[in-house]
A and B are shown apart, each in its own frame.
Chain A
Amino acid sequence: MTADQLARVAITETPRLTQLSLRLDPAGSSSAPVAAVLGARLPTAPCTWAAAPEADLLWLGPDEWLLLAPPDTADLAPSLRHAIAPHFGTVTDVSSQRTAFDLTGPGAPDLLAHGCAIDLHPRSSPTGTCVQTLLAQTGVTLLVLDDAPQAPTLRLLVRTSFAPYLRSWLGDVASGT
């Protein structure tokens, strides 16, 4: 991958997504009512995400998901809490905890390879992959939104306070490898 191709990776920030941290027992009784609210069952395969009518559902752990919905989706959290009750499970608004960067272009996986140990080859990380890993020196949640070799799109969720660092790092890689 040439520096030129890396420089042509489009990097856009998608701010203010509604983000909810969802914790529940996927085998428990609240699983079905939650699926009804979301329009899909929560993914239980490790390191995956799934698109649902109401939100993107990111598997973060055996009992932990991050839900991504459009900005100002204010009714989702109350609906989920209602669906979970009276069983044990929690919903936390973390919309401002992380921001999202989308990287698009054939060079996007190669760009991230300069600081990320995850194998982003479509054979290893197809569309639907969601991993929590390190990019350079900051933790990120990395989603493969589209693995098409000609125009792959990757999404990085990063803690808001680390976003300027990550932006500088991405710029440093794009400016020369």
Chain B
Amino acid sequence: MTAPFRLPGRGLVDQGTDLEFSFDGRRYTGHPGDTLASALLANGVHRVATGIAYRRPRGIMSAGVEEPSALVQIEEPFPEPMLQATTVELYAGLVARGPAGRGRLATAADPARYDAVHAHCDLLVVGAGPAGLLAALAGARDGQRVVLVDDQPRPGGSLLGTAERVDGLPGPEWAAGVVAELAALPDVRVLSRTTAFGHYDDDFVLALERRTDHLGFDAPAGTSRQRVWRLRARRTVVATGAHERPLVFPDNDRPGIMLAGAARTYLHRYGVLTGRQAVVFTTDDSAYAAATDLVDAGVTVAAVVDARTTVPEAWAEQCARRGIEIRAGEVVTGTSGSERITRAHTAPYAGGRLHGPRRGVDCDLLLVSGGWNPVAHLYSHARGALHYDPARGAFLPTGDLPNLRVAGAANGRATLADCLADGAQAADAPASTRASIPVSAPVPATEPVPDQTPGLVLWSVPDPAETDGGEPRPRFVDLQRDATVADVLRATGAGLRSVEHVKRYTTIGTAHDQGRTSGVIASGIVADALGADIATLGTTTFRPPYTPVAFAALAGRDRGALFDPVRVTPLHAWHTAHGAEFENVGQWKRPRCYPRPGESMDRAVLRECRAAREGVALMDGSTLGKVSVQGPDAGELLDRLYTNLISTLKPGAARYGVMCGVDGMVLDDGTVIRVAEEEFLLTTTTGNAAKILDWMEEWLQTEWPHLRVTLTSVTDHWVTVPLVGPDSRAVLAAVAPDLDVANAAFPFMTWRDATVAGIPARICRISFSGELAYEVNVRGWEGPRLWEALIAAGEPYGITPYGTETMHVLRAEKGYPIIGQDTDGTVTPQDLGLGWAVSRKKPDFIGKRSFTRAENLRPDRKQLVGLLPEDPSLRLPEGAQLIATAAVPAPPVPMLGHVTSSYRSAALGRTFALALVKAGRERIGDTLYAPLEEGVHPVRITDPVLYDKEGTRRDG
């Protein structure tokens, strides 16, 4: 069935195929090639939305991305708010409605896939209209790598909406031929449905390709819905055309009021009549083509209202031949109608004022044309300067940028022939880099057009109420924001002089369309109101994105499991297979504990702790950061970076070390082993590995480049397995028969190379638990074999794998701080009780000077202490504050400190905690109070070392 306003056989839509869709609960039919807007107009539907502030009926103003009012909510296939009906391609089963102002986001997760692709080219052409096509053709024929992007489903740009012929062919046919030639070349990529939405530094352009939106329910699952193209081009040609400017007059927002060029596009591209009886209101020549085309298609044009007193002769003749009345020197001063315009009122106009009586004319369509704004957004993003052209009332690009040219209508060219000629040479490099042979394409022939008559710049038609004392009517500047001329005048009346300030005061240009139809007009109205020159006022700044881009598209694949890289060790498969609960440490997944079936985490941790203290246990410590430091000056570098002396370490020995920032605050800690005279290996905390390597490189490269040292990350090279507990020596002896594990032969804080389970290994006698312990290091891929061998050898001893939670409990029982948990960047080594690790002999090291700052010597600094809650079953929450009294005083409550680590201890048979407390060491033995939600709990301050203070367990 043909819709009532569809012309059979006209347009580029496939009228042989019907697409059923629903809008505002009613069913309609459209065709492939339609937009939602063109399909609605074909069915005679003009009112599609409701104004956000005044709830006035709103229609379809344009035929493209400049649409200010026809915002729709898609309900099916997947809810999406605030889309322009003029850019939604129609598909079968589409369910949409016209919301009142605001849309609705889906509550369900978006099932679509999103993608990103990087692409590189010699020449990027934005826009496949007449100028862009010729620029791309010139570059492609020259053998350049060319990317041509265009936001429409088919090439041609403006040619799709006019009846103009190129080289004797209908415009769309000519465009399709050019694209066919381009697409056949190996290094040319043509992207349709792709909007270049931002130009960034270094000629980087982002473009959004809509790949399956137009397929609706038939979108294939494996294909991304949208793709962000990350384009890097040596040169860019911006051939993005121009947007027609509406005219501002009383009641200029009624459905049925439309840009003249849009009506022409609906006729030629979609075969749709936008009304039966039209009035055309214009200030320049281009609307005449719309008027005559519409009459030729069967529309009655009741009048062309031309604000200019001098009407173009050739067009006057064309109108006369068709019986169109021209009201020269008149303007539209108001409209009637509610759901749709029914009548336009005109009056003579001269010198900025209305003269003489109003006359009405019946119509169901009012076409407006106030001139054309070049689409210079990408040029502006690239910091191109716009200048005002008073003849057109438009801001035009000012010359080429080093690697960017604007061509065609975007460059202010008004006719097809001029656009083609401009595009044909736009691919050529700018003069400074010009090759000997210019890169250009032959300019195809076009039909003659009448000479242009200068347009009239008319920012707003006066409201007759100003002179006749009637009720003022709203003159809308920004239809989406419901902002009027009165709002602009209120802004200038309040003293605002900058268009940027007026924009923010009135919200004009802040909607989805970013002021495409309203921005320049607002500048003009401000200029008129202030008596200023619009050329100096300028326009508001164009910023990316040119059109709205969904966050999902920007996120691309970085969602779900790929949101952030997950780092794992070579032992990860074993952990997973043995029921580990994992903890995120930076990007790493670390086993937190290994609960047995039915076992709670608390019980699992108690069991693991007991095994480590009474038998033998092992963990995966591979995530520790590891840096190989080599060179004759390696010891010197480490002496400067650590607070303690490293260079005196003997090969074969290990030492604990603390690093501070220049402020004297603890940055990281770890162990250092001396591998050879000129080689050290240090460890960092898991989360700090990259930061510490950067820190070391920064000092080495920028402050001490003369030191002969190299730094190499070997974090992933080694699998590190701490083997802990009184039985660890026996287990190690079983798998390392050639190693003398006796305490005297292999003492604490030394390391040995040995064969463990047939694998070359480096074993360090270091302990983060206070127990006898060995840290076995092998190359990563040997890790699983080592682990299995240790498990097997430990079986007679009940060897138990343990996770980070147990590690934390064991070290906390010994009062060993974890940097980043028990510290927060305001804690010195002395605060932690690590004063013994701060050298008094070294002439200098990072942080040394800060230790003598008065602030760092205050006796009431927060110091690390142990806490024993009076209730031995109470595990204090980490972060709990500590106060002096059992009753919470009136605020502000003096806070004495806070809990940094808190656990249940198998060894102590009770709960305990570590805390940073003001003058904490002086308070040992005192009672403080932890106010929690359910009550205030007394806690006793203790030495941070709560287990084996004498260190008797270290050697087994």
Contact = CB atoms under 8 A, between A and B. Distances in A.
Contacts of A136: 557-558, 562, 565
B557 A169 contact: yes
Most chain B CB within a 10 A radius of its CB, from A93, A94, A136, A160:
A160
B632 A92 contact: no
B689 to A, nearest CB: 10
B186 to A, nearest CB: 9
Contacts of A96: 716-718, 779-781
Contacts of B569: 161
B562 A90 contact: no
B562 A92 contact: no
A88 B565 contact: no
Contact of B630 (A92, A117, A161, A169): A92
Interface stretch (B153-161, B223-231, B521-529, B638-646): B223-231
Contacts of B557: 114-115, 136, 169, 172-173
A16 B781 contact: yes
B714 A176 contact: no
A4 to B, nearest CB: 10
A39 interface: no
B666 to A, nearest CB: 26
A3 B223 contact: yes
B115 interface: yes
A98 interface: yes
Interface string B560-572: 0110111111101
B115 A93 contact: no
A96 B781 CA distance: 7
Interface in B869-897: none
Contact of B224 (A115, A116, A168, A176): A176
A8 interface: no
Contact of A159 (B187, B566, B716): B716
B562 A119 contact: no
A125 B558 CA distance: 27
Contact of A90 (B115, B118, B227, B630): B630
B915 to A, nearest CB: 34
Contacts of A165: 562, 565-567
Nearest to A138: B565
Q: How large is the interface on A (under 10, 10 to 19, 20 to 34, 35 or more residues)?
A: 35 or more
B223 A164 contact: no
A95 interface: yes
Interface in B568-585: 568-570, 572
Contacts of A23: 710, 712
A177 interface: yes
Contact of B779 (A21, A95, A115): A95
A82 interface: no
Nearest to B113: A176
A90 B629 CA distance: 10
B227 A177 contact: yes
Most chain B CB within a 10 A radius of its CB, from A21, A90, A121:
A90
B659 to A, nearest CB: 21
A177 B224 contact: yes
B716 A160 contact: yes
A95 to B, nearest CB: 6
B223 A172 contact: no
B565 A137 contact: yes
B717 A93 contact: yes
Nearest to B211: A177
A23 B708 CA distance: 11
Interface string A101-145: 000000000000111111101011000000000001110000000
B580 to A, nearest CB: 16
Most chain B CB within a 10 A radius of its CB, from A94, A98, A137, A161:
A161
Given A96-B717, A164-B566, A115 B561 contact: no
Contacts of B630: 90, 92
A92 B675 CA distance: 12
A143 to B, nearest CB: 18
Contact of A161 (B187, B588, B714): B588
Contacts of A161: 567-569, 588, 623, 715-716
Most chain B CB within a 10 A radius of its CB, from A92, A119, A168:
A92
A113 B781 contact: no
A16 B407 CA distance: 55
Contact of B562 (A15, A16, A116, A172): A172
B502 to A, nearest CB: 40
B221 interface: yes
A5 interface: no
Contacts of A97: 713-717, 780
B116 A115 contact: yes
A86 B558 CA distance: 49
B119 A113 contact: yes
Most chain A CB within a 10 A radius of its CB, from B117, B230, B564, B716:
B716
Contacts of B568: 161, 164
A98 B716 contact: yes
B652 interface: no
A119 B557 CA distance: 20
A137 B561 CA distance: 12
B688 to A, nearest CB: 15
A116 to B, nearest CB: 6
B120 interface: yes
B120 A175 contact: no
Contacts of A137: 558, 562, 564-565
A4 B3 CA distance: 41
Contacts of A98: 716
Contacts of B572: 164
Contacts of A162: 565, 567
Contacts of B564: 137
B222 A176 contact: yes
B632 A88 contact: yes
A169 B562 contact: yes
B716 A88 contact: no
Nearest to B204: A117
Contact of A117 (B115, B118, B632, B715): B118
Nearest to A16: B781
Interface in B677-729: 708, 710, 712-718
Contacts of B512: none
Contacts of B119: 113
Interface in B832-886: none
Contacts of A3: 222-223
B221 to A, nearest CB: 7
B628 interface: yes
A96 B498 CA distance: 62
A15 B716 CA distance: 14
B631 interface: yes
A169 B560 CA distance: 12
Nearest to B223: A176
A119 B115 contact: no
Contacts of A159: 567, 715-716
The 9 closest A-B pairs by CB, nearest first: A96-B780, A176-B222, A119-B120, A161-B567, A165-B565, A97-B717, A160-B716, A90-B630, A23-B710
Interface of B: 113, 115-120, 145, 187, 221-224, 227, 230, 232, 557-558, 561-562, 564-570, 572, 588, 623, 628, 630-632, 708, 710, 712-718, 779-781
27 contacts: A23-B710, A90-B630, A90-B631, A92-B710, A94-B712, A94-B714, A97-B717, A97-B780, A113-B117, A114-B117, A114-B118, A116-B118, A117-B118, A119-B120, A119-B232, A121-B120, A137-B562, A138-B565, A159-B715, A160-B717, A165-B562, A168-B562, A169-B557, A176-B221, A176-B222, A176-B224, A177-B227
Interface of A: 3, 15-16, 21, 23, 88, 90, 92-98, 113-119, 121, 123-124, 136-138, 159-162, 164-165, 168-169, 172-173, 175-177
Given A97-B717, A159-B715, 17 more contacts: A3-B222, A21-B712, A90-B710, A90-B712, A92-B628, A92-B714, A97-B715, A113-B117, A114-B117, A114-B118, A117-B118, A136-B558, A137-B564, A160-B717, A162-B567, A169-B562, A176-B224
